[in-house]
Amino acid sequence: MSGALDDTHEPALQSWVESANADETDFPIQNLPFGRFRTAGSRSWRVGVAIGDAVLDLQRAGVVKNAGMKQVMGLAPAQRVALRHRISEGLRSGSANEARFREALLPQSQLTMGLPCEIGDYTDFYVGIHHATAVGKLFRPDNPLLPNYKWVPIGYHGRASTVNVSGTDFPRPSGQQRGADDSRPVFGPSQRIDLELELGIFIGRPSTQGSPIPIEHAEEHVFGLALFNDWSARDLQAWEYQPLGPFLAKNFASTVSPWIVTMEALAPFRRPFVRSAGEPEPMPYLDSRANREHGAFDIGLEVWLQTAEMRAAGSPGQRLSRSNFADAAYWSVAQLVAHHTVNGCDLRSGDLLGSGTLSGPLTDQAGSLLELSQGGKQALTLANGEQRTFLLDGDAIILRGHCERQGARRIGFGECRATLLPARDPG
C-alpha cells in the first residue's frame, strides 16, 4: 500500500513558480496532479502537471519522452515515485533545471483541458453509508439498508462514453416516467435532475483477467483520485431501476475534474480505516492490516450551486453542503479494487471507479438534492430567495475538494463544474 512520505511532501518546500506558493492555491509543489491539455489550434492532447496557475508540459520539459497518459498511469509504483521526484526537483526554488522547465511552463488559462485520460470502463460504487441510509429511509423507513450493504461493496457498470471533463455543459435528458397516481408511464424531459458528490478513482497499472488483485496490492494499481459528479434523473430512475438497476437515469452525463491527484500526493492525508463498534468484520479478501491502519483519506468535499440568476448578478454561487471522504465511505479504495477483481475481472489503465455519493451524517453534509430536499418534499430556500428541490435549467453545480492537516501543505483537486441546459427535442 502506497503512503511513504519523502522530501516532495515537505511543507516548507517552495517553487520558483510564484503562484504555487500562494496559500489559497490548490496546486502547490507538494501536489503535482496530472492531466491532459492542448494549446490553441492543436488537436493532440499532451500530458501536463498543474503547478500554481500554470501547467508544466512534461514532454517539453524532458521529463517523459513520447509518452501519453496511459503510459504514465501504467508505471510501476517505484517508477511513479521517481517521476514525481524529477518533476518536484525541476520546479523547486533554486533548481538547476529551472531554465528548461520554465520553457515548458504554460498559463493554464490559455489551455483547453480534456478528460485526464482516455476512460475505458466505468464502474460506479455505493460506498457512502450516510447517503445510502438517508435515501433508504425515503423508501424503506424501517429498513433503509438492504442486507448485503455491510458485507459487499455495491456497484454497477456505467457508461464511459458520456463521462465529460469539467466545464462541459449538457442538456436535460428525456425518458419514461411514471408518477404514483399515473395509470401508465409518460415520455418527456426529466423534472428531477440531481447531482451526486463523488470521487473518481483512476486505475493506473492494469491487471490480468482471471487473476484477482489482493487487497495488500490493490493500491499499487490506483493512479489517483479526482472529483466526480454522477448526475441522476431521479424520476427516470424510480421507474426503470427495477429489476436491473440504473440505465437512462444515469448514462446521460457524468462530470470529472481535469486533474488526477496522485496517491503519492495524498500520502500525508491518510487516516486509519475504522468502523463503528458492532459493525461486521470484512471478509478476509477485503481486510488487511495496512488498510486498517491507513486505508482512509482525509479529503474535504463541497457542493456549490450557482443558479442563472446568481450568475447574472455576478455571484459565485452558494455552498449547499460539505462532507469528508473518510467520514462518508463505508468501503476503502483498496477494498473496491480487491472486490472488483476477486471474480477474475481485469482492470485497465484509465478505468474509472466512482465512489458513490459521499454524504455525511448531518443534513448540511448531504451530497445530493434528493437528501437535501427530502425526496423533493422540502424546497431549499437559497440566500437570494430562490427555491430548489431539484435542478432547473441554467443551474450550475460546482464540486470542490481539498486536503489539509497540521504539519502538511494544503492541496486541492481544482474544480468540477457543469451547467444543466434545456432539453433537446428527442425527435
- Confidence at residue 66, expressed as pLDDT on a 0 to 100 scale: 85
Cβ atoms of 121 and 353 within 8 Å: the answer is no
Q: Which residue has the cell 454522477?
A: 230
- Cβ neighbors of 43 (< 8 A, separation 6 or more) are none
Mean pLDDT of all residues in 345-358: 98
Query: Quick one: CATH architecture of 7-113?
Result: Roll (2.30)
Rounded to an integer, what is the distance from CA 287 to the centroid of its chain?
24
Residue 67 is predicted with a pLDDT of 84
Cis? peptide before 243, omega within 30° of 0: yes
Phi, psi (degrees; rounded to nearest 5) at 188: 170, 180
Does pLDDT of 189 surpass 80?
Answer: yes
User: Residue 3: is its pLDDT beyond 80?
Assistant: no
The per-residue pLDDT for range 16-40, each reduced to its tens digit, is 999 999 999 999 999 999 999 999 9
At 174 the three-state DSSP class reads: strand
State how far the Cα of 355 lies from the Cα of 390, in Å rounded to an integer. Answer: 22
pLDDT digits (tens, 9 = 90+) for 70-99: 999 999 999 999 999 999 999 999 999 999
Containing 400, the helix (H) or strand (E) segment is strand 396-403
Per-residue pLDDT band at 376 (split at 50, 70, 90): very high
Is there a contact between 163 and 122 (Cβ–Cβ < 8 Å)?
yes
pLDDT of residue 89: 98
pLDDT at position 242 is 86
pLDDT at 427 over 70: no
CA 170 to chain CA centroid, Å, is: 18
CA distance 8 to 156: 37
Give the model's confidence band at 179: pLDDT under 50 very low, under 70 low, under 90 confident, else very high: confident
H/E element, 109:
none
Q: Do domains 7-113 and 122-421 have the same CATH topology?
A: no
Per-domain boundaries in the chain: 7-113, 122-421
Checking if the pLDDT of 369 tops 90, the result is yes
Query: Could you tell me which residue, 81 or 276, shows the higher pLDDT?
Result: 81
Confidence of residue 321 (pLDDT cuts 50, 70, 90): very high
DSSP state of 379: P
| Residue 131 annotated in active site | yes
Higher pLDDT, 70 or 2: 70
Maximum mean pLDDT: which of 64-73, 141-150, 312-321: 312-321
Average pLDDT along the chain: 96
Pairing of strands 270-271, 296-297: antiparallel
pLDDT of residue 228: 98
CB 8 within 8 A of CB 30: yes
Which percentage of the chain shows pLDDT scores above 70?
99
Give 1's pLDDT tier (boundaries 50, 70, 90): low
Give CATH for domain 122-421. Answer: 3.90.850.10
Which residue in 131, 221, 294, 339 is the catalytic one? 131
Q: pLDDT tier at 2 (50, 70, 90 boundaries)?
A: low
Q: Compute the radius of gyration of the chain from its Cα atoms.
A: 21
pLDDT in tens, 126-162: 999 999 999 999 989 988 999 999 999 999 999 999 9
Instruction: Provide the percentage of residues in the chain whose pLDDT is more than 90.
Output: 93
